[in-house]
Amino acid sequence: MAEQMGSAAVSGKANSVLASSTLAFTVCFTIWMMFGVIGIPIKKSLGLNETQFGLLTAMPVLTGSLIRVPLGIWTDRFGGRIVLFLLMIATVIPIFLISYATAYWHFLVLGLFVGLAGGSFSVGTPYVARWFKKERQGLAMGIFGAGNSGAAVNKFIAPAIIASAGWVMVPKVYAVLMLAAALIFWVFSATDPSHNVKSSVSFAAQLKMLKDPKVWRYCQYYSVVFGGYVGLSLWMVKYFVTEYNFDMKDAALLAACFSLPGGVLRAFGGWLSDKYGAYKVTWWVMWVCWVAFFLLSYPQTDFTIKTVNGQQSFAIALSPTVFTLLLFVVGIAMAVGKASVFKFISDEYTHNIGAVSGIVGLAGGLGGFILPIMFGAMVDLTGVRSSCFMLLYGTVCISLVWMHFQFRREIMQSAQQALQAA
């Protein structure tokens, strides 16, 4: 009886940790994506070009990515509760100060500090995973990762605040929101010293997995499913405004059709990965993205051909409805893919989840930093707005080729070892 009561208490504590961590991560991600919406009026007031706008939206993603490796290692060593709480508190003042920025460089510098919130993923993932048994870790990490839906929350909240009080009110509201979320997290989370890596394990020992080629493979996958998700979340509001002439509020709601499933359904991806395995799920995710990006990348086109009856003109274009539906499909695929990549990590790096998730998260975050800048540069160079999807199509091709040859090699090696053992 006592054993059952103890097990129930641990389970209840684990669920409390999961709920509070997911709430905290959702708020962090909402604020991390802030410039995807408020960057539009800032771009107009400062007269920025597309590349400058891309850099503006990407600056928080840079620090949120670079900080992930040390945060993951600190989580292994000191525990996720204290690390995540301090991280959230550290961002409150920089978030608030954005309201008083007037020059382009002000926004870039403050964006670097606000970006620390994006590192919360590398804290929460190992923190949450260690509270659950291995067969439930995929689902638990998927539920926590559903905090990515903060990208959609930002698209609901920020336009409403801008419409009523202007963009300068958004950072003030978000600073209060971050402080409240940090306090709620501290109250409802918990600490288990047994989850920490022993102090005898050196920093260098924790980084040895950098020599493992599997880690780099997972980095590439995650740069597609997470980096692509971040890049598109930052870019799609503006895309709907410029390509289809929607106002900001309607554009944000349509862009949320991508961001919302891309975050919420991550838990579904964790369940699928637990049930069918990380490889199968990731493989099909890449194929779905490959098809969708191929269709999305085709620019609006008018052309004329000569026929026996004279010249005949045609037009090829994706309507806003079809475009949004394809984005919705991509959002679902990326949500599932983000969970399946981390299922690989929880299966293969049980005792070093924090450091490995930090490295893989860094790769994904850097993808989210580089992509908006490249999106803007490609529009400035080519004048084709759908060039962002052309770029993503190429990255998915690389992933599919790499997966095919690498996993086929591993299967053949396993078969040879089995024959030798027999």
- Specify if 200 maps to a domain: no
Residue 296: predicted pLDDT: 94
Give Cβ neighbours of residue 186 (< 8 Å, ≥ 6 apart): 81, 85
Give Cβ neighbours of residue 410 (< 8 Å, ≥ 6 apart): none
Per-residue pLDDT at 279 exceeds 70: yes
Count up the domains in the chain and report the number.
Answer: 1
Residue 292: predicted pLDDT: 94
Q: Report residue 7 as tokens.
A: 């097990």
pTM of this prediction exceeds 0.95:
no
- Specify if 216 maps to a domain: yes
Residue 6: predicted pLDDT: 43
Per-residue pLDDT at 86 exceeds 90: yes
Buried b (16+ CB within 10 A) or exposed e, 281-301: bbbbbbebbbebbeebbebee
| Reported confidence tier of residue 2, pLDDT bands at 50, 70, 90 | very low
Structural contact between residues 110 and 97, judged by C-beta atoms closer than 8 angstroms: yes
- Specify if 18 maps to a domain: yes
Q: Domain holding 375: CATH number?
A: 1.20.1250.20
Range of the domain at 163: 7-192+208-421
**pLDDT (mean) for 133-153:** 81
Structural contact between residues 136 and 85, judged by C-beta atoms closer than 8 angstroms: no
Per-residue pLDDT at 200 exceeds 80: no
- Specify if 201 maps to a domain: no
| Reported confidence tier of residue 3, pLDDT bands at 50, 70, 90 | very low
- Specify if 142 maps to a domain: yes
Structural contact between residues 225 and 285, judged by C-beta atoms closer than 8 angstroms: yes
Crossing angle of helices 169-188 and 2-32, rounded to 10°: 170
Residue 28: predicted pLDDT: 95
What would the pLDDT profile of 307-362 be if each residue is shown by its tens digit?
Answer: 888 888 888 888 999 999 999 999 999 989 988 888 888 787 776 676 777 778 78
What would the pLDDT profile of 12-65 be if each residue is shown by its tens digit?
Answer: 788 899 999 999 999 999 999 999 899 999 999 999 999 999 999 999 989 988
- Specify if 197 maps to a domain: no
Higher-confidence position of 363 and 116: 116
**pLDDT (mean) for 6-17:** 70
Q: Among all chains, which residue has been given the structure tokens 């395995």? A: 277
Angle at 396 between CA 329 and CA 327, to 5 degrees: 20
What would the pLDDT profile of 328-339 be if each residue is shown by its tens digit?
Answer: 999 999 989 988
Q: Report residue 169 as tokens.
A: 């009110």
Structural contact between residues 60 and 34, judged by C-beta atoms closer than 8 angstroms: yes
Rg (CA), the chain: 22
- Specify if 115 maps to a domain: yes
| Reported confidence tier of residue 93, pLDDT bands at 50, 70, 90 | very high
